[in-house]
C-alpha cells in the first residue's frame, strides 16, 4: 500500500474528522450516544452505508446527468439504509430497538450526501472506497468518544460494568443537555489542541 | 421536453432497481424478524415463570375496550399452575408491552417488559440492570480468564421489574420511597413506573373478571 | 380524535418533546442558521411550511400505497388479499423522495406566486431536504407515540389530523428553538468567550442550557 492510500483512509480519523472538524452528522452523534454500545451500532451501520454509497456513486457518476444527480444519490443511499435497517431488525433486535429511528435517519445524515458530492462524484471507485471507510471510522471514533464520556459521567458505566464503585453519577449527562454539553466541550478541547 | 423524459426515465430505472433489491432483502429478512420477536416472547415467558415446563396457545381477554393476551402455564405433569398475561399500555412517550406471570391465586411470579421506547436515562431505566462487576474487575478477568461456569447463564431481571415478584393485586400501587408492600417508582420516571404498574394491575384484575373459571388441567391427547 | 388530544399534541411537540432539545433532530441547520435572528426567522417559517406539507403528503403515500389496508390503491384496483400489497419496507425510500420532490415543488410555486416570499425563504428551502427533522416527523407520524397517555399514530383514530398537528407543531418547535438560539448568539458575539470555546463549542453549551430549561416542561405531563 502506498502512502497516499493510507492517507486517504486515515485523514478522516482526526484531521478531517467528520463530526469534530467538519461538524457534519451532528444529529446522530447527539442522539445515539447514550451508551457506547449504541454508538458502536450506529458507527458500524454508517460505515457500511457510507462505504457502499461512495463506491456505487463513484461507479454510476458517468451515466447520471448532473441535473438529477442528487435524487439518484438519495435513492442509492435510502436503499442501502433500508437494507441495514432490515438486517439489524432481523439479526440484532436489541440494537434495532434502541436506535431504530436513527438508523432510518442515516439517509439524511449530511456526511453521506456530503462525501458523495465532495468526493465520490469526482474520484475513482477505489479512492472513494478508502474515503468512505476512513470517514466512517472517523465518525465512529467521534461517536464512541462522546458516548464514553456520557455513559461514564451519566450512568457510571462502560459496556455495562461499573466504573467508579460507590460514586453517584450525574444523571443529566445521559439526558439531552448532557449530549450538547459533551460535544461542546469536546469541540473546545479539539480547538485547544489544534491551536498549540 | 425530450430532456425531461430522459431524466424521468433514468430516475424511474433507479427507483425500479432500488425497489427490486429492497424487495429481495425484505423477503430474506421477513421471517427472521418475525422469529426474533417470537423468541423474545418465549424467552421472557420462561425467565419469569421458571416453575412452568411449557406454555399453552395464545388466547385473548378484554381489558376495558382493548384486548390483552394470555397463555396457560403447565408444569411437567400437564397441570395448569398459572398464567402469563400480555398487555400494552401507554407510557410517557411510547407504548409499553408487559408480560406478567401469575399463579392460580393471582400472586405475581414475575414480570418482564417486552418493549418500550421511553426516555434514555429516565423512563428507560425500568429495563436497567445494575452492573455485577466493575470495569476494573472485568479487565482483570480478561487477563485471568474467568471459567465459563462462573458467568451467569441469563442476565438478571432489572430491579424495577424484580420487585413485582410475590406481590398481589392490592400491593400494586406506586410510591416514591423504598418499600416492601408497594412498587417503588424510578426516580424522575414516575409516569413510566405508574404505566408499567397499571399494565400489570389491569391485566390481572380483568383476567380474573373475564376468564373466571379457566381450565384446571390440560387433556392429554 | 378529540380536540383536546390535538391540542396536547401541539403542546407536546412544541415544548415537552421539542425536536431540537429533546430529540436532537435538525441539529445541523439549527447550528448553521442560528447566527442571526433574521435568517432564523426565514428558516423557521420555511421549516414549518415544509414539515406540515410533508406530513400530509407522506401520510397519504403511506396510507394509500404502502400500508396493506382497505384503502390501498393496488388492493382497490386488483382485489384479492390486502396483505399481499405490503410495501412498508419502502417507507424510508418513498418518504425521502417525496420530501425532496416537495421541496423542489414548493420552491417553484413560491417563486412564481410570491417573489417577496421567495426572496425571504428561497435560500433556505433547498437546505431543508437534508434537515433530518422533516424525514423524522414523517416517520414518527406513522410509527406514532404516546401523548399524555393516549396512543396516536397510523392505525389509530384521527391519524391524519395527528400527522398534521405533529408536523405543524414540530415545525413551530424547531422555529422557536432557532429563534431563541439566534437571540442568544447575537449577544454572545459581543461577549468575552474564551478562545477555544468560540464559535461552535459555545453554541453547543448554550444549547445544553436551553435544553435544561426545556426539560422543565416535562413536569407538565401528569
Q: Which of C97, C146, C150 sits opposite B92 (nearest CB)?
A: C146
Integer Cα distance of C80 and C72 in angstroms:
11
Question: For residue B144, what pLDDT is reported?
Answer: 64
Q: Is the pLDDT assigned to residue A70 strictly greater than 80?
A: yes
Residue A127 C-alpha cell reads as 479512492
More confident residue, C176 or C132: C176
Residue A159: strand, helix, or coil = coil
Q: Do B11 and A90 touch (CB under 8 A)?
A: no
Integer Cα distance of A43 and C13 in angstroms:
28
Comparing alpha-carbon positions, the chain C residue that sits nearest to A102 is C136
Question: How close is the nearest chain B Cα to the Cα of A124, in Å?
Answer: 21
Q: Do C212 and A82 touch (CB under 8 A)?
A: no
Question: For residue A125, what pLDDT is reported?
Answer: 93
Q: Is the pLDDT assigned to residue C35 strictly greater than 50?
A: yes
Question: For residue A196, what pLDDT is reported?
Answer: 54
B218 DSSP 8-state letter: P
CA distances from C7 to A45, B94, C19, C164 (A): 37, 18, 17, 12
Q: Which of C89, C97, C151 sits opposite B90 (nearest CB)?
A: C151
Integer Cα distance of C156 and C185 in angstroms:
42
Integer Cα distance of B187 and B39 in angstroms:
31
Start-to-end CA span in chain C (Å): 20
Q: Do A82 and C21 touch (CB under 8 A)?
A: no
> Which chain A residues are closer than 8 Å to C23 by Cβ?
31
Residue A104 C-alpha cell reads as 432510518
Supply the mean pLDDT for chain A. Answer: 88
For residues A120-142, give the mean pLDDT: 93
Q: Quick check: A91 contacting B, CB < 8 Å?
A: yes
Question: How close is the nearest chain C Cα to the Cα of A55, in Å?
Answer: 19
pLDDT in tens, C145-158: 877 778 888 888 88
Q: Is residue B196 part of a domain?
A: yes
In a mutational test of the A interface, the residue from B7, B134, B189 whose CB has the highest number of chain A CBs within 10 Å is B134
Query: B174-175 and B183-184: which strand pairing?
Result: parallel
B79 DSSP 8-state letter: B
The highest-confidence range among A12-26, A62-76, B10-24, by mean pLDDT, is: B10-24
Q: Is residue B147 part of a domain?
A: no
Q: Is the pLDDT assigned to residue C214 strictly greater than 80?
A: yes
Q: Which of B7, B36, B117 sits opposite A90 (nearest CB)?
A: B36
Instruction: Find out whether B110 and B101 touch, Cβ atoms under 8 Å.
Output: yes
Question: How close is the nearest chain B Cα to the Cα of A76, in Å?
Answer: 7
Count of the separate structural domains present in chain B: 1
Q: Do B93 and C145 touch (CB under 8 A)?
A: yes
**Grid-cell match 416514591, residue found:** B176
CA distances from C42 to C14, C45, C181 (A): 18, 5, 14
Chain CA centroid to CA B145, Å: 33
What are the residues whose beta carbons fall under 8 Å from the beta carbon of B50, sequence distance 6 or more?
Answer: none
For chain C, which residues make up each domain, given as ranges? Answer: 3-220
pLDDT in tens, A77-114: 999 999 999 999 898 888 888 787 788 888 888 889 88
> Which chain B residues are closer than 8 Å to C97 by Cβ?
15
Residue B20 C-alpha cell reads as 427490486
Q: HSE (CB half, 13 Å, CA atoms) of C71? A: 11
* b/e code A123-139 from CB counts within 10 Å (16+ = b): beeebbbbbbbbbbbbb
Supply the mean pLDDT for chain C. Answer: 86
> Which chain A residues are closer than 8 Å to C25 by Cβ?
27, 31, 105
> Which chain C residues are closer than 8 Å to A81 by Cβ?
92
Q: Which of C89, C146, C222 sits opposite B94 (nearest CB)?
A: C146
Q: Is residue B163 part of a domain?
A: yes
Q: What is the DSSP string of chain C?
A: --HHHHHHHHHIIIIIT-TTTTT-TTHHHHHHS-SSHHHHHHHHHHHHHHHHHHHHHHHHHIIIIIS-STT-HHHHHH-S-GGGG--GGGHHHHHHHHHHHHHHHHHHHHHHH-HHHHHHHGGGHHHHTT-HHHHHHHHHHHH-EEETTEEESTTSTTHHHHHHHHHHHHHHHHHHHHHHHHHHHHHHTTS---GGGTTHHHHHHHHHHHHHHHHGGGGG--
Q: Do A82 and B25 touch (CB under 8 A)?
A: yes
Q: Quick check: B78 contacting C, CB < 8 Å?
A: no
H/E element, A50: helix A36-60
Integer Cα distance of C33 and B81 in angstroms:
63
Q: Is the pLDDT assigned to residue B71 strictly greater than 50?
A: yes
**Grid-cell match 415544509, residue found:** C50
Instruction: Find out whether C20 and C40 touch, Cβ atoms under 8 Å.
Output: no
Q: Do C221 and B94 touch (CB under 8 A)?
A: no
Q: Is residue B18 part of a domain?
A: no
More confident residue, B185 or A20: B185
Q: Do B115 and A97 touch (CB under 8 A)?
A: yes
Nearest to A190 by CA among A42, A4, A16: A16
Supply the mean pLDDT for chain B. Answer: 85
Q: Which chains touch A (3 or more CB pairs under 8 A)?
A: B, C
Integer Cα distance of A159 and C196 in angstroms:
31
Q: Do C201 and A23 touch (CB under 8 A)?
A: no
> Which chain C residues are closer than 8 Å to B95 by Cβ?
146, 151
In a mutational test of the A interface, the residue from B2, B128, B135, B158 whose CB has the highest number of chain A CBs within 10 Å is B135
Q: Quick check: B97 contacting C, CB < 8 Å?
A: no
Question: For residue B145, what pLDDT is reported?
Answer: 59
**pTM greater than 0.80 (yes/no):** yes
Integer Cα distance of C90 and B131 in angstroms:
40
Question: For residue C79, what pLDDT is reported?
Answer: 80
Q: Is residue B29 part of a domain?
A: no
Nearest to B180 by CA among B193, B195, B169, B165: B165
Task: Write out residues 150-179 of A within 8 Å (CB-CB) of B.
Answer: 154-155, 157-165, 171, 174-175
pLDDT in tens, B126-174: 888 877 778 887 777 776 655 555 555 566 788 999 999 999 888 899 9
Q: Is the pLDDT assigned to residue A165 strictly greater than 90?
A: no
Lowest mean pLDDT, pick from A44-48, B84-88, C51-55, C157-161 = C157-161
Integer Cα distance of C140 and C32 in angstroms:
24
> Which chain C residues are closer than 8 Å to B195 by Cβ?
149
**E strand segments, chain B:** 54-55, 59-63, 66-74, 80-90, 95-103, 108-115, 174-175, 183-184
Integer Cα distance of B167 and B149 in angstroms:
32
For chain A, which residues make up each domain, given as ranges? Answer: 3-146
**pLDDT confidence tier of residue B217, bands split at 50, 70 and 90:** very low
Question: How close is the nearest chain A Cα to the Cα of C211, in Å?
Answer: 5
For residues B113-131, give the mean pLDDT: 85
Helical axes C91-113 vs C132-143, angle rounded to 10°: 120
Q: Do B121 and A175 touch (CB under 8 A)?
A: yes
Question: For residue B218, what pLDDT is reported?
Answer: 45
Question: How close is the nearest chain B Cα to the Cα of C12, in Å?
Answer: 10
Q: Do B135 and A64 touch (CB under 8 A)?
A: no
Q: Is residue B19 part of a domain?
A: no
Q: Is residue B40 part of a domain?
A: no
pLDDT in tens, A105-125: 888 888 898 888 889 988 999
Q: Do B11 and A71 touch (CB under 8 A)?
A: yes
> Which chain B residues are closer than 8 Å to A78 by Cβ?
18
> Which chain B residues are closer than 8 Å to C17 by Cβ?
93
Comparing alpha-carbon positions, the chain B residue that sits nearest to A96 is B33
Integer Cα distance of A120 and A124 in angstroms:
7
pLDDT in tens, B195-205: 999 999 999 99
Start-to-end CA span in chain A (Å): 32
For residues C119-135, give the mean pLDDT: 77
Residue A120: strand, helix, or coil = helix
Amino acid at each position: 500500500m502506498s502512502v497516499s492510500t493510507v492517507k486517504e483512509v486515515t485523514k478522516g480519523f482526526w484531521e478531517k474528522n467528520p463530526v469534530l472538524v467538519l461538524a457534519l452528522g451532528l444529529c446522530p452523534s447527539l442522539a445515539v450516544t447514550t451508551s457506547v454500545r449504541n454508538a458502536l451500532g450506529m458507527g458500524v451501520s454508517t460505515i457500511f452505508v457510507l462505504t457502499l454509497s461512495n463506491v456505487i456513486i463513484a461507479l454510476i457518476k458517468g451515466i447520471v446527468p448532473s441535473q438529477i444527480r442528487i435524487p439518484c444519490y438519495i435513492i442509492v443511499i435510502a436503499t442501502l439504509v433500508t437494507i441495514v435497517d432490515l438486517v439489524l431488525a432481523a439479526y440484532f433486535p436489541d440494537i434495532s430497538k434502541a436506535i431504530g429511528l436513527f438508523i432510518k435517519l442515516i439517509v439524511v445524515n449530511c456526511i453521506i450526501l456530503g462525501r458523495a458530492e465532495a468526493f465520490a462524484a469526482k474520484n475513482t471507485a477505489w479512492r472513494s472506497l478508502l474515503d468512505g471507510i476512513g470517514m466512517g471510522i472517523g465518525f465512529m471514533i467521534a461517536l464512541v468518544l462522546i458516548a464514553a464520556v456520557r455513559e461514564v459521567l451519566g450512568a457510571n458505566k462502560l459496556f455495562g460494568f461499573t466504573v467508579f464503585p460507590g460514586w453517584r453519577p450525574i444523571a443529566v449527562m445521559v439526558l439531552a443537555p448532557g449530549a450538547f454539553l459533551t460535544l461542546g466541550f469536546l469541540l473546545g478541547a479539539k480547538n485547544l489542541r489544534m491551536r498549540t | 421536453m425530450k430532456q425531461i423524459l430522459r431524466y424521468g426515465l433514468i430516475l424511474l430505472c433507479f427507483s425500479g432497481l432500488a425497489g427490486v433489491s429492497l424487495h429481495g432483502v425484505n423477503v430474506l429478512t421477513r421471517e427472521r424478524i418475525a422469529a426474533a420477536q417470537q423468541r423474545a416472547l418465549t424467552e421472557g415467558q420462561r425467565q419469569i415463570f421458571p416453575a412452568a415446563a411449557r406454555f399453552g396457545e395464545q388466547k385473548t381477554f378484554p381489558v376495558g375496550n382493548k384486548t390483552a393476551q394470555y397463555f396457560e402455564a403447565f408444569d411437567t405433569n400437564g397441570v395448569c399452575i398459572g398464567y402469563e398475561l400480555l398487555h400494552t399500555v401507554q407510557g410517557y412517550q411510547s407504548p409499553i408491552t408487559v408480560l406478567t406471570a401469575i399463579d392460580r391465586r393471582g400472586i405475581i411470579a414475575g414480570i418482564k417488559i417486552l418493549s418500550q421506547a421511553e426516555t434514555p436515562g429516565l423512563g428507560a431505566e425500568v429495563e436497567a440492570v445494575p452492573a455485577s462487576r466493575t470495569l476494573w474487575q472485568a479487565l482483570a478477568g480478561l487477563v485471568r480468564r474467568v471459567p465459563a461456569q462462573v458467568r451467569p447463564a441469563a442476565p438478571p431481571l432489572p430491579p424495577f421489574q424484580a420487585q413485582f415478584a410475590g406481590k398481589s393485586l392490592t400491593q400494586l400501587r406506586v410510591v416514591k420511597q423504598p418499600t416492601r408492600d408497594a412498587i417503588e417508582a424510578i426516580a424522575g420516571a414516575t409516569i413510566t413506573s405508574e404505566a408499567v404498574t397499571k399494565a400489570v394491575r389491569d391485566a390481572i384484575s380483568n383476567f380474573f373478571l373475564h376468564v373466571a373459571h379457566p381450565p384446571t388441567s390440560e387433556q392429554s391427547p | 380524535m378529540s380536540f383536546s388530544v390535538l391540542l396536547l399534541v401541539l403542546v407536546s411537540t412544541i415544548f415537552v418533546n421539542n425536536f431540537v432539545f429533546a430529540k436532537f433532530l435538525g441539529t445541523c441547520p439549527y447550528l448553521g442558521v442560528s447566527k442571526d435572528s433574521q435568517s432564523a426567522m426565514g428558516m423557521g417559517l420555511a421549516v414549518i411550511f415544509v414539515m406540515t406539507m410533508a406530513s400530509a403528503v407522506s401520510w397519504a403515500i403511506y396510507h394509500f400505497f404502502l400500508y396493506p389496508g382497505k384503502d390501498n390503491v393496488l388492493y382497490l384496483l386488483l382485489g384479492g388479499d390486502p396483505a399481499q400489497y405490503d410495501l412498508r419496507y419502502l417507507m424510508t425510500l418513498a418518504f425521502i423522495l417525496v420530501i425532496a420532490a416537495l421541496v423542489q415543488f414548493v420552491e417553484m410555486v413560491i417563486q412564481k406566486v410570491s417573489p417577496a416570499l421567495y426572496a425571504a425563504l428561497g435560500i433556505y428551502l433547498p437546505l431543508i431536504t437534508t434537515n433530518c427533522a422533516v424525514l423524522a416527523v414523517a416517520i414518527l407520524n406513522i410509527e406514532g407515540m404516546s401523548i399524555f397517555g393516549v396512543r396516536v399514530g397510523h392505525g389509530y383514530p384521527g391519524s391524519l389530523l395527528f400527522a398534521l398537528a405533529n408536523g405543524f407543531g414540530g415545525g413551530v418547535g424547531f422555529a422557536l428553538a432557532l429563534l431563541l438560539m439566534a437571540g442568544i448568539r447575537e449577544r454572545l458575539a459581543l461577549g468575552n468567550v474564551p478562545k477555544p470555546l468560540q464559535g461552535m463549542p459555545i453554541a453547543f453549551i448554550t444549547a445544553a442550557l436551553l435544553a435544561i430549561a426545556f426539560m422543565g416542561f416535562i413536569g407538565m405531563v401528569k
